[in-house]
Amino acid sequence: MRRSAAAIVGVATGMLIGAAFVRRRAVNAERADLYFEDGSMLSLPNGSPGADRLIPLARRIIGDSHRS
Amino acid sequence: MDAQQALSDLTEISSQIEAAVVFDDKGKVVGSTLPEGDAFATSAAELFAAAEEVRTGGSPLTQLEISTGEGSVFLVRDGKLTIAATTAPAPTVGLVFYDLKSALRSVKPKPRPRAKPAAPKKPPAARKPPAPKKPAAPRPRKKPDAT
């Protein structure tokens, strides 16, 4: 009985850790990729000076499009 | 092609695209999949302008993708027209860009056709009278048997 309860708790904890990991990865994956006419590309990860303005704007656009 | 038609084709072809809008350099909405296309276009233009400020002085910005936890925003500019689209998280970036560019290309206004001088109409060709039928050659009668 105790063993099965411990197994259930273990599985639930693992699932929580996994979900937190996935969520954290998704947040870290936030970035802005800019492509220029000459073929160059600039990738701005979340937290970089340019991205901190672009990512909130993009979030707002996505939120607005989901609402309408 | 009509912008609205191009956008409906786009959302039909690409299941990843949730919403899209096409607008010109003055912010005028040419076509939209959303009823509030003006607000979407205004925000997209603001985003493009903000992205242009990131790197000034170099080559002009032509397209961008911003990936967030809730989804991605794509913007592609070609001449005076810009297309903006939103997708679910983790889209196939290359495919979405390809579809957006194709849609934008199909929206581009066609050049005005030159006014051609009206050519005089040809009178309908006179019909040839049917050739008179040749009278059928009389069939040689079989001679009755002498028997």
For B99-110, the pLDDT digits (tens) are 999 999 998 665
Return residues 12-71 of B near A (CB < 8 Å): 18-19, 34-36, 39-40, 43-44, 46-47, 50-51, 54-55, 58-71
pLDDT at A24 over 90: no
Residue B54 tokens, joined = 């990131």
With a cut of 50, say whether residue B27 has pLDDT above it. yes
pTM: predicted TM-score of the whole model, two decimal places? 0.71
B17 closest CA partner among B67, B85, B66: B85
Instruction: State CA A61 to chain mean position distance.
Output: 17
Number of helices followed by number of strands (H, E) in chain B: 3, 5
Can you tell me the distance from the alpha carbon of A40 to that of A34, in angstroms, rounded to the nearest whole number?
8
Q: Which residue has the tokens 């259930």?
A: A8
Count residue pairs from A and B with Cβ separation < 8 A. 100
What interface predicted TM-score (ipTM) does this complex get?
0.71
Q: What is the pLDDT of residues B128-137, one digit of tens each?
A: 566 665 555 5
